[in-house]
Structure 1
Amino acid sequence: MRKLFILMAVLVSFMLVISWKTQMTQSSGYTELFNGKDLSGWYTYQRKPEPTSRVEGLKMVDGSYIEPIGLNKDPLGVFSVVELDGESVIRISGETFGILVTNESFENYHFTLEFKWGEKKYPPREDQKRDSGICYHSFGEEGAQGGVWMKSVECQIQEGDVGDLWCVNATTAQVNISDPEERFIYDPSGPLHTFDWRNVRHCKRSIDF
């Protein structure tokens, strides 16, 4: 099984502050996934864009796109590296659903990052919460779920529920929860419960955050 990190662009401007901090990397033992210059070491995949976006050469039928943007093509500039507060960061514009994936596989890891919301929103979520996520233990083909995501487990990054768990297509996860009969909320002292993408696939991080 390939085990990758995925950073999802979900129709909202989003700054991933995986900043280039060599001193922190050397002292902590972490492997820096972002080189502080460009997106070397990553690849992208983007699904069919919304009709409100204009992508030259992409097939449309009755005003809707019928094919994905695909692998390592970014005509809308969804993924880029910009300067923020004196540091290089990864920017995700959110104009279309897409994923930013590490070329290298990982296992038995701890993953850390900082993020900051942008202001711009895009259809069809222009009136909804800002939403993105980290998908980990990812495997299989791009586009397996929703025309974009790989099979994986998602750490939700959305206004009001950052840290929730979602099983994404053919995955399961075991989490200690508060009450398996009523509420699926993480509780380190609670019983272990198996979440399955076909049944209950969502576990809340907390009821107060």
Structure 2
Amino acid sequence: MPTKRLTNGVPMDAGAIVPWGEAGWLNPPPSAEPDGASLVVTTAHGSDFWRHTGYGFVRDDGHALLAGFPAGTAVEVTFEAALTALYDQAGVLVRVDAETWVKAGVEATDGTPHLGAVVTHGTSDWSLAAVPEWAGLPVTVRVSRSGDALTVRARAADGPWRMVRLAHLAPDAAATAGPFCCSPSRGGLRVRFTRFVLGPADTGLHDAP
């Protein structure tokens, strides 16, 4: 997605860089430090987003930097991180409220990076696929909102886009979206976010961004 800066907080035609200071934190992390054009975030111990399924608990204390995400919009986030501990994770969060949200990105599971998404409408579900070849590479996650659907795609470095998930979101839902990170089994995960862009939604489910 080509990028242009925001004008009066409104994305311009081809996509707009969201300045880190113009989005709002859900659960501010222990540290979020600008480093050049990047934002380096350090997670709190045990931070996570999850509701009920399989584990029986609710966690809503992961870190997310969110901006408005209306229908007809796409969000892209690029990050770099050494995801080494169980359930270390980073990517994009789309949030309506504590019971309605989607997180998508890369997560450490069984000693291997996995690409996946958690879709939550009251309770959470989780889909994932191993991507060991993505270890050490910058990852971009893209979520496009059109009609009643969120289309989630991701890629490593400049590689091809991979379809991750098609999920429901009510067309009239007031949502926010942006980069997130969590470390359910430890504290101190450091994630370097290098890009946060809002722009127009994809033209079709099977069309490349």
TM-score normalized by the length of structure 1: 0.34
Kindly indicate which of the two structures has a greater share of residues assigned to strand: 2
Relative contact order: is structure 1 or structure 2 higher (C-alpha 8 Å, sep ≥ 6)? 2
TM-score normalized by the length of structure 2: 0.34
